[in-house]
Structure 1
Amino acid sequence: MTDILVPTLGESVSSATVARWLKKAGEAVAADEPLVELETDKVTVEVNAPSAGVLEAIAAAEGAEVAPGSVLGSIAAGGAAKPAAPQPAAAAPAVPHVETPRAVTGPVAVPG
């Protein structure tokens, strides 16, 4: 399990507010994929996933005030996610019917 931590926000910034989560608990995430937005009085910061896996838990709800270094949530390694809905198979491209030319036998009439 990997913790998602509040990054250092700047020299004079001591806290931030969790603005919104971009992923829900149980969803698969890729490494460096944006997970949550934090707002300070100066800037909005996206916090990216430190590793690939499944967003296992959210420790700081939207609207919560958080300090640098505190835990926002956790990511479980591997495929512990809820199974995703099966994707429909891509339809095979239509193959046009092409007749094979037949060999000509016998005399051929040529106009003219």
Structure 2
Amino acid sequence: MAISVQMPALGESVTEGTVTRWLKQEGDTVEQDEPLLEVSTDKVDTEIPSPAAGVLKKIVAQEDDTVEVGGELAVI
């Protein structure tokens, strides 16, 4: 079953974030809550954890891409 990894809301006024670095690559096995990538906003830099255990099937947002809150980052 494919699970979408989405950009979370990182603050009340934050509407988007920029992917700064992927910590995992396509094909990697990931555990739930394991950090997948780093994102940067105008207020905070943070890691986005995996919502589920599985295999990282597809990276949708590449490094330096800006993604709106709720936008798809990857598929597990």
Which residues of structure 1 form unaligned runs of 5+? 76-112
- Does residue 1:24 correspond to 2:25, yes or no? yes
Percent identity, aligned pairs only, is: 48
Q: How many residues are matched?
A: 75
| Aligned position for 2:68 | 67
After TM superposition, the structure 1 = structure 2 runs for residues 1-112 of structure 1, keeping only pairs within 5 Å, are 1-75=2-76
Q: TM-score, normalised by structure 1?
A: 0.65
| CA RMSD across the alignment | 0.6
Q: Which runs of 4+ in 1 moved over 3 A?
A: none
Which residues of structure 2 form unaligned runs of 5+? none
Partner letter of residue 73 of structure 1?
A
The Cα of 1:34 is off from its aligned counterpart by 0.2
**Residues 66-105 of structure 1 deviation map (CA, whole Å, 9 limit, x = unaligned):** 0110100010xxxxxxxxxxxxxxxxxxxxxxxxxxxxxx
Secondary structure of 2:56's counterpart equals strand
Give the Cα–Cα distance (whole angstroms) in 2 for the partners of residues 65 and 12 of structure 1: 16
| Aligned position for 1:84 | none
Partner letter of residue 54 of structure 1?
V
Partner letter of residue 15 of structure 1?
E
- The structure whose Rg is larger is 1
| Aligned position for 1:97 | none
